[in-house]
Amino acid sequence: MEQFLENTPLIHLLQTAGILILALVLAKVAQALIVRLFRSQRLFHSSLITDVIVHIRRPLLWLLILIALYAAFPLTHIPAKATAHLHVALKPFSVLVLGWLFISFTKGLGKWLALNSPAKQARDSVDARRFNTQIVVLMRVAIFVISALTLIGMALMIPSLREFGMSLFASAGVAGIIIGVAAKETLSNLISGVQLALSQQILLGDEVVVSGQSGVIEEITSSYVVIRAWDMRRLIVPLQYFSQNHFENWTYHEADLMGTVFFYLDPMVDIDAVRAEVTKITKASPVWDGKRCDLLVTDCKENSIELRIALSARNSSDLFTLRCEVREKMLRYFQKEQTDAFPKSHVVLAGNTAA
């Protein structure tokens, strides 16, 4: 490079600098025109194109810069040997930019699919959660594969790393053991992610119980699952746990849940009045889903009867709130309206009889 600067006339240096700067400017102008063209709703009425182009605009700029530089090198006064070295140096960067472009495209496509899901309208639609889970998991698996291929491609573009890799693979037995041990966990999580996306054992928003801890599936990554507990704690569970262990999924087919409230009352209680009050309280609750509100006498003993109130709600949080609300308001009702509703012990004292 020093010889090139010393032996090249100033006019040629200025021409070379001008050509390279012009190439960069043209790349930026081309990127701006492409983004503006594809975001124009007058030409493209599909939101898919506009969403994707927003995500790929930065890697697209770098790709256009590389194309412009490759096209400009023959027009400059840079020696052929130096140009060859520049080509070698830019090859790994070119692979990196292409990988970045494909990853950005995948993210844009995944976001568009999630936002335009036909099942997205319902608040707790199982179809919507199933679709979103598949999109998230498959998108992250695709990003992982693209990233791995990008790193491999970059390594192959660097002569020293390529030679090291070829010598390593020459000893196939040792290399196979090393690579197998190193990649076992990664491949296991990758396969588990694909399996979850296809089998749909868990979905985003599912209510699950894992190792005695209940919570909501908040995030599914390529290696772990985040479960949000009722007290806002986060449980981090390895992805392969769900394919190797048993767990409870309360919303496997539908999001609606059912719970119970029990009361043990005196056999002489007015059951019809209690049923009417339970119905009134439940219908007035904002967390009731409007599907299930039943009161049944499920047991009868010598001093008490068992009343079971069955209630339904959209999710476990709403169900817990509804059960507590019904229990509290019914206690208040018994205190005011039926003070003798709870079981009492009757004691009969036998008096002394005259001889």
Q: What does the alpha-carbon distance between residue 238 and residue 220 come to, in Å, rounded to a whole number?
A: 10
pLDDT at 99: 93
Query: Within the chain, which residue ranges are assigned CATH 2.30.30.60?
Result: 120-253
**The pLDDT value given to residue 273:** 92
Q: 310 or 122: whose pLDDT is higher?
A: 310
Q: What is the dihedral of CA 149, 196, 232, 289, to 10 degrees?
A: 140
Q: Could you report the per-residue pLDDT of 291-350, keeping only the tens digit for each?
A: 889 999 999 988 889 999 999 888 777 888 999 999 999 999 999 888 888 887 766 666
pTM above 0.75, yes or no: no
C-alpha–C-alpha distance, residues 47 and 39, integer Å: 9
111 confidence band (pLDDT: 50, 70, 90): confident
CATH match for 120-253 among 2.30.30.60, 2.40.160.20, 3.40.710.10, 3.40.50.920: 2.30.30.60
Residues of the chain within CATH 3.30.70.100 domain(s) are 257-336
CATH topology of domain 257-336: Alpha-Beta Plaits (3.30.70)
Q: What are 260-290's pLDDT values in tens digits?
A: 899 999 888 899 999 999 999 999 999 998 8
Q: Is the dihedral of CA 188, 193, 197, 200 positive or negative?
A: positive
